[in-house]
Structure 1
Amino acid sequence: MEVSQGAGAHVVYDGVGKDTFDESIASLRRRGTMVLYGAASGPVPAFEPTKLAVGSIFFTRPSLGDFVANRLELIWRANEVFAAFRRGDMQVAIGGRYPLASASQAHIDLEGRKTTGKLVIQVR
């Protein structure tokens, strides 16, 4: 709320789920949009739709399968993503590089929450 001077966010993308759902809803501005796309902490329990009435919140729970319904659509969307990456529109944070021989250490660091971003296992 601090970033928006108390107005709230236009949209929240929540991939965590159960542990952050209520806080995500509370951080939205009037007529904001809640996008729940994952459940890393577990599924969000059933809730009353009236919870969204305060602030006239829009809610969506997209599923990847509905956006890549067939092979042609999958290829089209993948090409769009790779084109955006090549243009520099997307920044990928590399949190560490590990030689293949140290792949087990990469897993240990990941499980121990010692990393951020993506980890690269170097084959060569």
Structure 2
Amino acid sequence: MVLYREKDFAEETNRITGGEGVDVVYDSVGKDTFDRSLDCLKTRGYMVLFGGSSGQVPPFDLQVLNQKGGLYVTRPALAQYTRTREELLWRAESLFSWIGQGNLDVRIGGTYALEDAARAHRDLEGRKTTGKLILIP
């Protein structure tokens, strides 16, 4: 595991892959890691930017994607993948099936009493958490 606040994760990724890079980067941090996440990708690599805990990525020149190897970037949102009730049920069934079969490991990063929900949000916003957080009523 490479902790992006402790090491240059792009340098580590390129060291580990022998300079080839990786096929996909899932970036939940945003502004602070966006450029270096692109640097981790191999030619025609794919970056999924699904969060912005450090802030939103500022506008950038799309020509950079060409210069770095014909890269792809997407910014999905859950609502785009659950537009109908049928799609929501289909995706939920797949997800819970994978979890039940042990094919998907869901890391629980912490639990909070429901009355501590504001603290849980502050911890998320302050990037003090990893994994999923659970609120207990």
Cα separation, partners in 2 of 1:93 and 1:70, compared to 1, 3 Å? same
> What one-letter code is carried by the residue in structure 1 that aligns with 2:33?
T
1:15 counterpart residue number: 28
Instruction: Report the equivalent of 1:41.
Output: 54
By how many angstroms is 1:33 displaced?
Answer: 0.8
Residue of structure 2 equivalent to 1:117: 131
TM-score (norm 2): 0.72
Runs of 4+ displaced beyond 6 Å: none
Per the alignment, residue 90 of structure 1 pairs with 104
Task: State the partner residue of 1:63.
Answer: 77
The verdict on how the C-alpha distance between 1:121 and 1:34 changes in structure 2, with shifts beyond 3 A counting, is closer
Rate the CA distance shift 1:116–1:83 in 2: closer, same or farther, 3 A.
same
Q: How many residue pairs get matched?
A: 120
Q: CA RMSD in A?
A: 2.6
Matched residues in 2 for 1:38 and 1:31: separation? Answer: 22
Identity of aligned residues (%): 45
Change (3 A) 1:10 1:75: same
1:3 is displaced (CA, Å) by 2.0
Distance 1:75 1:32 in 2: 30
Q: Identify the residue that residue 91 of structure 2 maps to in structure 1.
A: 77
Q: Secondary structure at the match of 2:46?
A: strand
